[in-house]
Structure 1
Amino acid sequence: MTRAPVPGAARTWIIGAGSVVYIRSNASVVPLNASATAIWLLCDGFRAIDDIVAEVAEFFGVDPDMVRTEVNSAVAGFTRMGLLLDTEHEPPATDALAARPTAAPVPAPPGFAVAPGMTRIGPFAGLGSAFVVDVEELALAAFIADRLEDLLLSRPAVESDHAVVVRRSDGPDGQRSWAAEIDGRGCGPGADDDGVLQELLTGLVFETVSNRPVTFHAAAVEHGGRAALLTGSWGAGKTTTMLSLLRAGFGYMADEVVVVDPATFVAQPWPSPISQTEEGWRSLGVEPSTPSGCEQYVGWHQPLAASALGFARLAGPAPLGAMVIVVHAPGEPTRLEALDPAYVVAALQPMLLVAAHAREEWCDDLVALARVVPGYRLTVDDLATVPGLIAEVLDRR
């Protein structure tokens, strides 16, 4: 029995000692080590399982019986992911790259008419695009306008390219949520907590930008003319780690969004207010305050402008020198470990601020970035030791 790839189901990049496979059905990335990469590439619809076992064993110089279990497990996994078909004949001669799906551009509605009951704010401009925002509630419109201005967006005297609509709804339990559209197309997740409103708005900004650089949900700091990107899952300690670096003299570049030019690998500053829990701010000796009129919208995380912190200096553009994945691992010591580039791509791909239909295109830039800029896994037990570790890897560049 031979195994053939499902036509158009995936795209593969060879990177480092392994590879990354982009699965088009769910816009996700799977990292493969060297042996799994070899197995995946040999599943071409012409080789039987025994042939794959023999070639992998010969390539790595081991006994075939030692790799048979791994080959069977990998093939079963690829099949479960929808990447392989069972076939005893030649697979269809379909070029997977030519079959990649493309999304038709959505035209902006002519005139950008304001819907009944909506309040219009803007236009705003950022990274070469202008847009207006229509909001369902007057108080919420004022709050969103303040947040967009906090993100250093200007108010240009130009015609808008895009129309953004933000609608609010209150659930039966009193929880607020938002739904957003750009030019009539749904965009971004709904937010069920006031504290993530800024993240939603930041995502909306980048959805309106054409020919944009690679953008991540991440933080960034600068040291010695080099930038370090810091990212991780919610609650991993990304912002807390960044604040410890700022206290040690690192320059502040971003807390929520990191913008990287894929041609030059230069990170651009996006110095939005820094969000931290009230308890977290007080542990740093900072007393947070809620802006007047925003009490009902500001939630668990309290945003403060970097200028309000006595220990934060603003940094300019800087070439990216390290990509750091902050991992919440109680009990593990503080450690900065180098990662294989394939695993860096897999960790960063979910952090891309991009619509699902464009993730494959952006993976091209992400793979190029991971081939040049080293990635690391950071576990933190003692924050005081982190600045030295990050400075050391940046100084190597």
Structure 2
Amino acid sequence: MPSVPWHCDRPTMSISENADDTDDTLVPVIVSDLRIATIDDQTVILDRSTDSCHVLNGSSTIVWASLDGERMIGAVIDELAAESGMERQLVSSIVHKALDVFVEAGIVDLRPESAETLPGDDEAAASAEPAKIDERAAARHARRTRRQAWAVVTEHALDRLPGIEIHGPWQFGDVVATIATNRAEIGDYLDRILEPLRVSSGDVDAETAQGTMRPISIHIVERPRVDGDLVSIYEQGRRRDRNIGAAQAIETTLQRINQWATASNTGSIMLHAGAVEFGGSVVVVAGQSGRGKSTLTAALVQSGGGYVTDELVMIDPSDLQVRPYPKALDLGPRSLELLGLPLDDGFVVDKRHVPVGELGEVSAGGRVAALILLEPENSEEQLLGDVDAVTELLSHVFAATHTMPDSMTALARLCRSVPVLRLPRSTPESGVERIKQALGLVN
């Protein structure tokens, strides 16, 4: 996401002829879905509707803070002029210039002052609307009930297919999943790569009864008369995919698992990154696709670090603890070669899912100690300031993070608390050495 600097803080700016053309009786209203953080004297704004980031400097921050969605422009100008002791004409110019930028960015709308709504002649029609809504809701409920009943019937039928075996359970956030399949090689493969996420059936039963876990069942089934050697995937008795190969079925299932993990961890800072722990300190490695974050994560584990997670890092904003999610690492042929790992395991689509056991040990997590942002090879290594760190980190943040109203404040707190290092891509060995130096693990 680009950082767009807004410069409205020019106390000697010339007042253009059009500076006060906007009607001062209009009300500035913030219209977008925004997440905001104040860092020093700057304001960083994430516009979720356009996936853009803006940085407000100086007086533009003051103007922004004065917008309450109720007062007219003239009232805002009067207040700021009184507080600053500046001439009203100059304050008016600054406010209007700031509002022009806000409006152009699509985060503020200028609206007439709200008029009192008078009752019309359509009150009878309006009163009839709830009845129509109730009818539609009842119809939707009936359709949903039929689908649920049919899903239960389908699930029972799938359980009776010849050769069906149940694998798991595995926990992904507040979701616990079992997978039933009549393709033994698929079940064995999933058992192997999901082993670190396995939980006991007794714990699952207890927590499901308490409502703290949500059970989900998946069926990956081959029906020879229908599919040949292809398989179909059912989730909770509803078919999601049909007539696909075993490798693609595994890929689809693992992607679905990651979606559950993401959806069940709202309230966390979620980064598209890897994480490795050294003595309770966790280094988080982020980077755009192709920058080598998974390769470097794997190399750090091979060097003696504890594997926390890859692709999905979940950080508790209250204490910066990283929650372990030891999924298999997805590594392409070049990465596998660099790390000395086998290139194929029989189920490779684009990348191989590498179980943690092939690399090292699983970690129970720890507190974030450093954030590494991988850049192209010709980039300069740089320790980022707070504002740059937040704006650059935003491109690695999962959208679900911003279900937290204070997500930007949480990101700012994270970037203030730990060093954020921009690191050029290099060989895994060089990257490991540099990160260990940053953590003080080597001289």
TM-score (norm: length of structure 1)? 0.65
Structure 1 residue 390, shift from structure 2 partner: 3.1
Deviations 1:157-176 (A, max 9, x none): 444533355789xxxxxxx9
1:376 aligns with 2:423: no
Aligned length: 349
Amino acid across the alignment from 1:371:
R
Unaligned runs of 5+ in 2: 1-22, 117-143, 209-213, 222-229, 241-246
**Aligned with 2:435: secondary structure?**
helix
Amino acid across the alignment from 2:110:
D
1:4-153 correspondence runs (5 A): 4-6=28-30, 9-17=32-40, 18-21=42-45, 23=47, 25=49, 28=51, 30-35=53-58, 37-44=61-68, 46=71, 48=73, 71=98, 74-79=101-106, 83-89=107-113, 114-115=154-155, 121-122=166-167, 124-126=169-171, 129=174, 131-133=176-178, 138=183, 142=187, 145-146=190-191, 149-153=194-198
Q: Is the 8 A contact 1:194 1:299 kept in 2?
A: no
1:156 aligns with 2:201: yes
Aligned identity (percent) is 15
Structure 1 residue 206, shift from structure 2 partner: 1.8
CA distance in 2, matches of 1:287, 1:336: 36
Structure 1 residue 88, shift from structure 2 partner: 3.9
Counterparts in 2 of 1:73 and 1:228: CA distance versus 1, 3 Å: farther
Counterparts in 2 of 1:222 and 1:281: CA distance versus 1, 3 Å: same
**Aligned with 2:290: secondary structure?**
coil
Structure 1 residue 37, shift from structure 2 partner: 3.9
When Rg is computed on C-alpha atoms for both structures, the one with the higher figure is: 2
1:306 aligns with 2:356: yes
1:219-298 correspondence runs (5 A): 219-246=274-301, 248-290=303-345, 295=346, 297-298=347-348
- Which of 324, 331, 340 does residue 372 from structure 2 map onto? 324
Alignment-derived partner of residue 367 in structure 1: 409
Q: Is the 8 A contact 1:4 1:91 kept in 2?
A: no
RMSD: 5.0
TM-score (norm: length of structure 2)? 0.60
Counterparts in 2 of 1:77 and 1:198: CA distance versus 1, 3 Å: farther
**Aligned with 2:397: secondary structure?**
helix
Structure with greater proportional helix content = 2
**Aligned with 1:206: secondary structure?**
helix
Q: Is the 8 A contact 1:19 1:342 kept in 2?
A: no
Amino acid across the alignment from 1:305:
P
Deviations 1:112-155 (A, max 9, x none): 55445587845624267454456798579637743663452225
Counterparts in 2 of 1:339 and 1:348: CA distance versus 1, 3 Å: farther
Amino acid across the alignment from 1:308:
E
Alignment-derived partner of residue 103 in structure 1: none
Instruction: Give the number of the structure with larger relative contact order, counting CA–CA contacts within 8 Å between residues 6 or more apart.
Output: 1
Unaligned runs of 5+ in 1: 93-105, 169-175, 187-191
Deviations 1:166-194 (A, max 9, x none): 789xxxxxxx999986798x9xxxxx977
CA distance in 2, matches of 1:33, 1:392: 35
Deviations 1:258-303 (A, max 9, x none): 233333322233333322112221123333340xxxx3x4212122
